[in-house]
A = this chain, B = another copy of it.
Amino acid sequence: MDKTVPDLAAAVAGIEDGMVLMVGGFGGSGAPIELIHALIDRFKATGSPKNLTVVNNNAGNGRIGIAAMIDAGMVAKIVCSFPRSADPRAFTEKYLAGEIGLELVPQGTLAERIRAGGAGIPAFYTPASFGTDVAKGKPVAEFDGKSYVQERWLKADAALIKAEMADTMGNLTYRKAARNFSPLMAAAAKLTIVQATNIVAPGEIDPEQVVTPGIFVNRVVEVAGAKQEEALMRDGVAYA
C-alpha cells in the first residue's frame, strides 16, 4: 500500500488519447503545474496524449499549465465555467478559429456534477441556469412549486491534483483555498494522480484533518518546490 511514484513521468503514465482529464485548481490556486508540464513533455516526445477533454474551472492562462496544453495541441475540448483569465489567448484563439470545443457549465453545477460523479449520483436537480440558454435541451422538473434543471454526473478517466501534504497511502491535505475543486475531482476520476509538496508516512496526518481520503488516490509524487501559476506568469514563462 505505497502509492508513491518516483517521478513526474511515472506519475502521468497511462493518460491516453481521447481521455477525459480533470485538472484541479481555480486559476493558479491549486493548479498542478508540474504534472501538467510532465504531460506536455510526454506529448512533445511521443505525440500523445492528444484529443483530451479537459475539465477545469477555467481554460488556461498565459503560456503555461492548461494554456500550454492547448497551445501544444493536446486539447480537443474544455469543460469549464469561466474560459477567461488575465491572458486567455491560448483558448480564445483556438475557440474563435473553431479548433477547440467548449462546454460551458455554471460553476456550482460544475462542482456538483463532479461531486455527483464521485458519489455515484447519476443525476440531480439544480435551480441554476433554469430559463437560460445554458439549460437548453436539458430536462426540467418542478419541485414544491419551483423549477429546476436536471444535470448529469461528470466523471473522468484521470485527474491531476495538487496537494499540500500526502501520506504514502494517498491521504491528502490542501493549502488554504487551493483545495477548491480538487477533493471532488479526486473522487470523480478513475485514475487520480497527485503532486504533493510533502509526502509523509501513514499516521503523520491527523485522521481528522485528512481532506481527501486515500481511497480516492492512485498515485502520489513529491514536488517540493512547486511553481505557482501567477509567479510563472510574472516571469513570462512559456511552456508549450
Per the bound structure, the CA–CA distance linking A1 and B49 in Å amounts to: 52
Chain B residue with Cβ nearest A152: B143
Contact string against B for A residues 93-136, beta-carbon threshold 8 Å, 1 for contact and 0 otherwise = 00000000000000000001000100111111111000000000
Is the pair B126, A144 in contact by a Cβ cutoff of 8 Å? no
161-201 of chain A: CB within 8 A of chain B: 173-174, 176
Chain copies in the assembly? 2
Instruction: Judge whether A148 is part of the interface by a CB distance below 8 angstroms.
Output: yes
A146 touching B125 in the complex, CB below 8 Å, given contacts A208-B173, A208-B176: no
Q: Which residues on A are within 8 Å of B, measured CB to CB?
A: 112, 116, 119-127, 141, 143-144, 146, 148, 152, 173-174, 176, 207-209
Report the nearest B residue to A116, measured CB to CB.
B124
Kindly name the residue among A126, A148, A208, A209 whose own CB sees the greatest number of chain B CB atoms within 10 A: A208
A28 CB to closest chain B CB (Å) equals 19
- Which of B119, B120, B144 sits near A122, CB closer than 8 Å? B144
A152 partner residues in chain B, CB cutoff 8 A: 143
Closest to A175 in B: B208
Q: Which residues of B contact A208 (CB under 8 A)?
A: 173-174, 176, 209
Q: How far is the CA of A173 from the CA of B112 in the complex (A)?
A: 24
A120 neighbours in B (Cβ, 8 Å): 126-127
Is B127 a contact of A125 with CB atoms below 8 Å? no
A174–B208 Cα distance when bound, in Å, is: 8
By a CB distance below 8 angstroms, the chain B residues around A124 are 116, 121, 123-125
Contact (Cβ within 8 A) A123 B121: no
State in angstroms the CA–CA spacing of A16 and B146 once bound together: 27
Chain B residue at minimal CB-CB distance from A123: B125
Closest to A126 in B: B121
Chain B residue at minimal CB-CB distance from A173: B208
Shortest beta-carbon distance from A126 to chain B in Å: 6
